[in-house]
Amino acid sequence: MRKFALAIHGGAGTILRSSMTAEKELAYKQALEDAIIAGESLLIKGGRSMDAVEAAIRSLENNPLFNAGKGAVFTNDGKHEMDASIMNGKDLMAGAVASVQNIKNPISLARAVMEKSEHVFMAGIGAQEFAKKINAEFMPDDYFFVQQRFDQLQEAKKEDKMILDHTVDKEKKFGTVGAVAIDQHGNLAAGTSTGGMTNKKHGRVGDTPVIGSGTYANNKTCAISCTGHGEFFLRAVVAYDISCLMEYKGLSLKKACDIVVMDKLVKIGGEGGLIALDAKGNIELPFNSEGMYRASKKEGEELFIGIYKD
Ligand code: ASP
């Protein structure tokens, strides 16, 4: 039996102590801890990393604090279009959905694409039809209405640009959620879920549902889930690049993460971060932004929760 380990993120960005209240900080920390517990309670019983990743992400999707599921940001035309993906490191099976609406838990729909269809990636109306067929849980528009996100859209429209999930006080924040895990059987899994970017155009898709960019898992190397400015993460093929540096260059997880997040992404202007875990259970949580909501738990060790850089 191997030791399990689990890491999650709730988005990266300009998260400053100065713009945080004690109450808000507590709420974020509690939400991160709840998500860790959702995954850990399965892993501790010998459960699979895929189930732990899905459970942790569902917990974050159900919380309006994060830009995924219930808290998904608004598109330019006032809708919510969500993206998600999940990957199993054991057999490289993967599932993803893009631009889905009214789905309560897009991560579970992504998993259903993997397990119940012959496809890997489904988008838009086709993905919605598939969701109906497998009886996925749909929610009405008002379930996804969060006043703060609506205010963000008005701000973004004023500036006439697509804005990353920031708050009204101009705090810049990418609220995407994700999880990576290794179970006691030594299998890795990764998943990511997002509403994308505030004021994004109808049909815009970022890195989150793209296997190899926003999410990747391979038992030979690592499990990765990203958060940040999707256009840059797509162009840098971030998650697979880290796996490749480990597989073909023999780099450690830490070194591979450093090169991609702190050098390659920075050089092209890609702000954000990621959570990473290797086959030995090592965890890395690198980010080149001011902060990243993050938490991790290794079997038999203390829970770690972090928000800011220091
Ligand atoms: N990566 C996501 C996207 O570009 C945004 C985020 O991480 O919050 O859609």
- SS3 for 82-149 is EEEEEEECCCCEEEEEEEECCECCHHHHHHHHHHHCCCCEEEHHHHHHHHHHCCCCECCHHHHCCHHH
Report the pocket of ligand 1 as residue ranges, CB < 6 Å: 11, 67, 165, 174-176, 194, 196-197, 206-208, 227-230, 233
Sorted by sequence, the CB contacts under 8 Å of residue 245 that are 6+ apart come out as: 251, 255, 256, 259, 260
Q: Spell out the domain ranges in the chain.
A: 5-308
pLDDT value at position 148?
81
Q: Considering only 16-25, 46-55, 89-98, which range has the smallest mean pLDDT? A: 16-25
pLDDT at 121 over 90: yes
Atom of ligand 1 nearest to the CA of 229: 4
Mean pLDDT for the stretch of residues 145-150: 84
Q: Inform me whether the pLDDT recorded for 28 exceeds 70.
A: yes
Residue 165 has pLDDT above 70, yes or no: no
* Residue of 306, 292, 231, 257 lying closest to 14 (CA atoms): 292
Q: Among 75-79, 130-134, 239-243, 259-263, which is the least confidently predicted range?
A: 75-79
Within 10 angstroms of residue 310's Cβ, the number of other Cβ atoms is: 5
Note whether 306 and 31 are within 8 A (CB): no
Active site (catalytic) residues: 176
Query: What are the start-end ranges of the H helices in 211-279?
Result: 230-235, 238-249, 253-257, 265-268
pLDDT band at 173 (very low <50, low <70, confident <90, very high): low
Query: Which mutation among 173, 207, 261, 274 tests ligand 1's pocket best, with the greatest number of atoms within 8 A of CB?
Result: 207
Mean pLDDT taken over the chain: 93
CA atoms within 13 A on the CB side of 88: 16
Q: If you measure from the C-alpha of residue 112 to the centroid of ligand 1, how many angstroms do you get, rounded to a whole number? A: 22
Report percent pLDDT > 90 for the chain. 82
- Return the residue whose CA atom lies nearest to atom 7 of ligand 1: 227
Residue 212: helix, strand or coil by DSSP?
coil
- 169 pLDDT more than 60: no
| CB 242 within 8 Å of CB 276 | yes
What's the mean pLDDT in 64-81? 92
Torsion angle in degrees (nearest 10) through CA of 170, 259, 183, 59: 10
Overall size of the chain counted in residues: 310
Q: Considering only residues 113 and 158, tell me which one the structure prediction assigns the higher pLDDT.
A: 113
Judge whether residue 207 has pLDDT over 50: yes
Q: Which of 81, 29, 58 is nearest to 202 (CA)?
A: 81
C-alpha 31 – ligand 1 centre gap (Å): 19
More confident residue, 115 or 170: 115
Specify burial of residue 195 (Cβ count, 10 A radius: 0-12, 13-18, 19+).
buried
> Whole-angstrom Cα distance, residue 69 to residue 143?
9
CA of 44 to the centre of ligand 1 (A): 31
CA 141/CA 223 separation, integer angstroms: 33
Nearest-CA residue for atom 9 of ligand 1: 196
Predicted confidence at residue 159, as pLDDT, reads 73
246: its two tokens: 């480990």
Q: 197 C-alpha to center of ligand 1: Å?
A: 6
Looking at ligand 1, which atom is closest to the CA of residue 196? 9
Ligand 1, atom 8, residue with closest C-alpha: 174
pLDDT of residue 168: 36
Residue pair 279/188 in contact (Cβ under 8 Å)? The answer is: yes
* pLDDT band at residue 163 using 50, 70 and 90 as cut-offs: low
The atom number, within ligand 1, closest to the CA of 176 reads 8
The one-character DSSP state at 143 is G
Per-residue pLDDT reduced to its tens digit, 277-289: 999 999 999 999 9
Residue pair 200/231 in contact by the 8 Å Cβ criterion: no
- pLDDT tier at 172, thresholds 50, 70, 90: low
Tell whether the model's pLDDT for residue 167 goes beyond 50: no
Contact 92, 114 (CB under 8 A): no
Nearest-atom number in ligand 1 for the CA of 67 is: 8
The sign of the dihedral angle between the CA atoms of 302, 32, 260, 217 is: positive
How would residue 271 be classed by pLDDT, with cut points 50, 70 and 90? very high
**Highest CATH level, class, for 5-308:** alpha beta
Helix (H) or strand (E) holding 23: helix 22-43
Task: Tell how far the Cα of 272 is from the centroid of ligand 1, in angstroms.
Answer: 9
